[in-house]
Chains A and B, each alone.
Chain A
Amino acid sequence: MSRRAFRAMGTEIELLVDADDAERTLDAAEAEFHRLEALLSRFRPDSELSRLNEAGSLEAGPDLCRVLGLALVARERTGGRFDPTVHDAVVAAGYDRSFEHVPADADGGTAVRRTPAAHDDVVVDGSAVRLTGVRLDLGGIGKGYAAERTAEILAAAGPCLVNAGGDIATRGGAWTVGVETAAEPLTLELSGASGLATSGRDRRRWRRDGRELHHLIDPRTGAPSESDLLRVTVVAPDAVEAEIAAKSLFLAGAEAAAAEADEAGIPSVLVTADGRTVVAGGLA
């Protein structure tokens, strides 16, 4: 088993390949992760995403177009619970720089008044992208996308797993993944090509004017979500789908999330703020 760990996209990245002497493949996978971070980070002023947010329009490269396409489809599919246009709301809440530099406790931090998403606020026409009155945050979905791309590269060397700070992509083999619950951790075994993601408000949180805030913005209010869930872990066919579903279920709240996961057959582990763990979506 070959292993590589490094930091990118503001989190710890872990690459596992079931092969000996996979150094060159690990190098290529790590380089791919850094390349995607340089394109999709909202904290790098020279990234494609930052230039798009700054100018409002851009001839975007294939990766940004793909991620944006996935995000817009997800916005439609989740009825707006997953929304890439919450950038200004996240910034207004205080998450305006790479998280390790966000002050843990300070003054300020406000909600951005949101209007319902307009169908033409983000227009992708071939490689031409145009924003009208919004800016984009592709943080979560970008990590899922990078995990999938990296897994594709690693798969050439053997069965593999990519863990991008909780967003997991696997190819081949069987992989055991520990999931935090309200009590004892749960271990899930993923097999084949799968994705897993965890979204929650137990990390990436800070205080403004004495109020605790976090990074999961509810697009309907423009403020950090007041969901009764603490954390949601979802298994899906790939890491992007898992990221979208985890965020969407988190914003739905415990009762609706469990019902939705059961109905759609989305294997999920829901941890509520009052310390309950609900396993849903046929996970057993």
Chain B
Amino acid sequence: MTSHTGRLYAAALSLVVFFLAWAVVASRPWAAAAADPRLRALALRESQLRHEAKLVQAAVARRQAVYRAALKARNARIAAAASASSAAPATSSAVRVVNLPPLTITRTS
């Protein structure tokens, strides 16, 4: 190849090949195979924590369901007691008018 144009194409191609090789070497593909052991430990820990979080969430959900059921039952008891209280006359057991002689008398204190 003796033409001037041919030499120019050959030089440009050489430059492209050179920069591609540089980029491949700069990305250090061999380093991926030998990752930092601390990163591996961290990844493992993250995985364990995600698993534990799922277990905790399941436990919380179970307990919340139990609590909600207990709260519902308690509210029902309170409502029943309140209803019974408002239905019963306040004086039913504590006081009544009788036809008996008084043991003592009350007067303006």
Q: A interface vs B, CB < 8 Å?
A: 11, 14, 16, 140, 143, 161, 163-168, 175-180, 185-192, 194, 196-204, 231, 233, 235, 237, 243, 265-267, 279, 281-284
Min C-beta distance of A43 to chain B, whole Å: 16
Partner of A283, one of B91, B93, B99, B106: B91
Residue on B with the closest CB to A174? Answer: B98
How far is the CB of B40 from the nearest CB of chain A, in Å?
Answer: 60
Q: Is the CB of B104 within 8 A of A14?
A: yes
Closest approach, in angstroms, between the C-beta of B43 and any C-beta of chain A?
57
Q: In the assembled complex, which residues on chain B have CB atoms less than 8 Å from the CB atom of A266?
A: 90
On chain B, the residues within 8 Å of A175 by CB distance are 103-104
Within 8 Å CB of A16, what residues of B? 103-104
Query: Number of contact residues on B: which range applies?
Result: 20 to 34
Q: How far apart are the CA atoms of A163 and B100 in the complex, in Å?
A: 18
A189, A233, A284: the one contacting B106 at CB < 8 Å is: A233
Q: A266-B90, A282-B90 are in contact. Are A190 and B108 (CB under 8 A)?
A: no
Name which residue of chain A comes closest to B100, CB basis: A176
Other A-B pairs beyond A188-B95, A198-B108, 12, CB < 8 Å: A176-B98, A176-B102, A180-B105, A180-B106, A187-B101, A189-B96, A189-B98, A196-B106, A197-B109, A198-B109, A281-B91, A282-B90
Interface positions of B from 58 to 109, Cβ below 8 Å from A: 89-91, 93-109
A197 in contact with B95 given A265-B89, A281-B90 (CB within 8 Å): no
By beta carbon, the residue of chain B nearest A164 is B109
Chain B interface mostly: loop
Report the bound CA distance from A219 to B2 in whole Å: 122
| 7 sampled A-B residue pairs with Cβ under 8 A | A166-B106, A177-B105, A180-B107, A187-B100, A200-B108, A243-B109, A282-B91
| Bound Cα distance from A229 to B108, whole angstroms | 12
Q: Which residue of B lies closest to A201 (CB)?
A: B108
**Inter-chain contacts of A140 with B (CB < 8 A):** 109
